[in-house]
Structure 1
Amino acid sequence: MTGMVRVATLNIWCRHGDWPARREVLRAEFARLQPDLIAVQETVVNGEYDQVRELLGDEYHLLHQGRRAREGVGCSIAARWEPQEVREVDHLVTDRVDPDDFPGRSTLAEFDTPVGRVLLAHHKPNWQVPYERERELQAVDAARAIEQAVAGRPDVHVVLAGDFDARPETASIRFWTGRQSLGDLSVNYQDAWEFAHRDEPGHTFTIENPLIVAEADWSRIPPRRIDYLMVRCDDRGPTLRINSCERLLAQPVDGVHASDHFGVIADLAG
């Protein structure tokens, strides 16, 4: 099957900072780029307000994680197509994981797309810098759930997306990219940025963006690449061709930075 799917991921930083100005930049850029599948983190959704709907309008089907932290903060998926199957994976893996601060779930959602059936795995592990053990356990839980979902279904493509809060050299990312096993499991996903840009750093969380010190001072942390799009591999490599991968909203628009993160956007072909 041929065809193309454009996938994006971005942490939109709730409604912090100048949300009305940031909202207009986000709206304009998503309208210009027209992604088909969007994984967004730190979205505010509660009984009175849906930040993703406010941002994207009625053009997309929306999926919001069932467990959300304070004020309705969590993760969401926007898709051109109606979801066919949806599963959520719990990530409350140790006593250090506070569900009031961290929703503790990943979402696996399947869609019929121009490249065939795609399972979008929206993964969001713990954000705290010292919590790599939690991120390792959460990666294994998510990967195991994905493997169970696609077992015996070689025609299903898996796209893994999200703010992983881990650098490429950490154990959790090395696990996802097939450089090491964790526990009794090994998997292999092709990091789209690495495929398209090789040794370019591609930082997505950096003090080059003034918003990371605006309300929560991250000025002591070095530049990091922590936001990812990946494609699950079969025996011969990624099951979708990575035609391109770029950072999303990595420059201000009329002086406005869209978020404290830069996102990632990729074109994937069948």
Structure 2
Amino acid sequence: MNDDAATRHTIRVMTWNLWWRFGPDRAARQAGIRAVLTESRPDVLALQETWPGQADELADTLGMHAVFAGPSYPAAPADQEFELGIAVLTRWPILDSAARVLPARHRRWDPVALTVRTAHPAGPLPVVAACLEHAVPYTDDRVAQGAALAEMATDPSLDGPTPVLLLGDLNAAVDSPVLRPIRDVLVDAWTAGDGDPDAITLPSTHPYAPMEAGPQLIDRRIDHVFFRAGRENQQVAVDAVRLAGGEPVGGVHPSDHRAVAVDLRWHG
């Protein structure tokens, strides 16, 4: 297949859980988040544990377009006026978006996933973003949510000239049964890009690490970029993968999670 510049496209995709308003030194953390994202220069960015004002401010800083949806995980404290949810930021205008309710039998709210189509020059670029159930005792919901995301990402209405992206803090390691429905139909970009199999996105070394999350989540890679080809003859490759945001910026950790960044290339 011809791989000349006229048919080849590349994008940088990133997902990051921003720790909402839970951590200390919020102003310093926000400055660190801006610094990491400015250096990383993603074209498509999924955020978890964010709020509308933060997503909009980051979009303005990065020259991107933003859409927010909530609620998501975990629950925001009852005395807080700020929403807690997920967002997608893109370099290109957003064509449409929808909040999709996830199965959650054990919760008193309806957590959502966010589906977005953005106006990439090659054609509409579909993005599915989510933060899944974190409580291991509620693994029935976790498994059901993984299956729901797999169904969203394989909807034939998303087929087209660009790959379909699934991004987020999925609160499950890639070998977890929670992600089996997703692995069956999408590609784990980290593995496809020869990423370190021992990579960690929720480290126990963080000074505020949520150790109560347990060994299924702590010191595991639980933040993910998955993709599938948009057409049967489309060739999608991973040029590079890396973690970002894991070190303090100005002496302050921007988040308790590390971000996952992936460079994707496709043609056909």
Superposition pairs of residues 1-270 of structure 1, within 5 angstroms: 1-16=7-22, 17-45=24-52, 50-57=53-60, 59-67=63-71, 70=76, 71-94=82-105, 96-99=106-109, 104-150=111-157, 153-178=159-184, 188-197=185-194, 200-213=197-210, 217-218=211-212, 221=215, 222-233=218-229, 239-270=235-266
Confirm or deny: 8 A CA contact 1:207 1:219 kept in the other structure.
no
> Which deviates the most, 201-210 or 61-70?
61-70
Paired residues of 2:64 and 2:92 also in contact (CA < 8 A): yes
C-alpha separation between the residues in 2 aligned to 1:239 and 1:162?
A: 23
Structure 2 unmatched runs, 5+: 1-6, 77-81
Structure 1 stretch 158-167 or stretch 74-83: which is displaced more?
74-83
- Residues 71 and 84 of structure 2 are in contact (CA less than 8 Å); yes or no, is this contact kept in structure 1? no
CA contact 1:41–1:76 (8 Å) conserved in 2: yes
**SS of equivalent to 1:64:** strand
The root-mean-square deviation of aligned C-alpha atoms, in Å, is 2.4
Does structure 1 retain, via aligned residues, the 8 Å contact 2:201–2:221? yes
**Worse overlay, 217-226 or 168-177:** 217-226
3-state secondary structure, aligned to 2:209: helix
> What is the DSSP-based 3-state SS (H/G/I as helix, E as strand, rest coil) of the residue aligned with 1:117?
strand
Instruction: Tell me: CA distance 1:154–1:61, structure 2 relative to 1, closer, same or farther (3 Å).
Output: closer
Q: Which residue of 2 aligns with 1:182?
A: none
Give the CA deviation at 1:220: 5.3
Match for 1:61: what amino acid?
A: H
Q: How many residues align?
A: 249
Q: Percent identity?
A: 25
- C-alpha deviation, 1:112, in angstroms: 2.4
Cα deviation, residue 249, structure 1: 1.1
The change in CA–CA distance for 1:132 and 1:219 in structure 2 (over 3 A counts) is: closer
Q: Which residue of 2 aligns with 1:181?
A: none
Q: What is the SS of the residue equivalent to 1:240?
A: strand
Q: State whether residues 171 and 222 of structure 2, in contact with CA within 8 Å, keep that contact through their aligned partners in structure 1.
A: yes
Where 1:27 maps in the other structure, the secondary structure is: helix
Spell out, residue by residue over 1:160-183, the C-alpha distance to the aligned partner (whole angstroms, 9 max, x if none): 1000001122112122111xxxxx
TM-score by length of 1: 0.83
Deviates more, 1:141-150 or 1:247-256: 141-150
| Contact 2:70-2:111 within 8 A present in 1 as well | no
Q: Secondary structure at the match of 1:85?
A: strand
CA distance in 2, matches of 1:77, 1:198: 24
